[in-house]
Chain A
Amino acid sequence: SQQGEEDPQALSIQEGENATMNCSYKTSINNLQWYRQNSGRGLVHLILIRSNEREKHSGRLRVTLDTSKKSSSLLITASRAADTASYFCATETGANSKLTFGKGITLSVRP
């Protein structure tokens, strides 16, 4: 089974709205990361939050981490059509820094 599970599986919103995506995981982590993938391409790293951090911002992105609930949220504010993509959370675990990805969330932003 996946270490990280994203929720919802698919999200469709209007341009200008905020998009919230959630990720839950099972074991203790070194950090949690979010990546974006445009159709048929490789993934692009968005943001990393360490296990001792609770919130992090990067431009229109805001990530929260709740280690007691083993969950994270990615918020994209004022979404744009160009944000249409699949979003993956990835958890880094262990001394060997293994990264495990969830199955991803498909975000569609309607113009």
Chain B
Amino acid sequence: KAGVTQTPRYLIKTRGQQVTLSCSPISGHRSVSWYQQTPGQGLQFLFEYFSETQRNKGNFPGRFSGRQFSNSRSEMNVSTLELGDSALYLCASSLSGPGANVLTFGAGSRLTVL
């Protein structure tokens, strides 16, 4: 079956702009999680959506937002971009059974903010 698909794979933006990243989960997976990965901070949890509802949230400012559609596809948006937002953004999906939340990751969207 198809894996987790993230688009775009690479993008360059300038400070102050906004960006939208897309994630298509594995068919049948209802949970989608987003992580930000940087060399200094490692993998930081952004948020998780399950059945169109935000179920978990990390400690990121309100400029970071997301949503999930009825087909489980998810988008995340970052507004008013800052240089520090340059990172690899990883999306992961799971069946999210309790006590066995195993994630399947996409290849990531690498965002560079100039």
Contacts and interface: CB of A to CB of B under 8 A. Distances in A.
Contact of A98 (B56, B105, B110): B56
Contact of B103 (A30, A41, A43): A43
Contact of B55 (A40, A92, A96, A101): A96
Contacts of B55: 96
Interface in A16-59: 30-31, 33, 35, 40-45, 48, 50
B105 A104 contact: no
A43 B105 contact: yes
27 contacts: A30-B98, A30-B99, A31-B99, A31-B100, A35-B105, A40-B108, A42-B107, A43-B92, A43-B105, A44-B105, A45-B103, A88-B43, A90-B103, A96-B55, A97-B96, A97-B99, A97-B100, A98-B45, A98-B101, A99-B101, A99-B103, A100-B45, A101-B45, A102-B42, A103-B41, A103-B43, A104-B43
Contacts, number: 68
B106 to A, nearest CB: 5
B108 A41 contact: yes
Nearest to B43: A101
Interface of B: 4, 33, 35, 41-43, 45, 48, 55-56, 88, 90, 92, 96, 98-108, 110
A33 B41 CA distance: 19
A42 B99 contact: no
Nearest to B99: A30
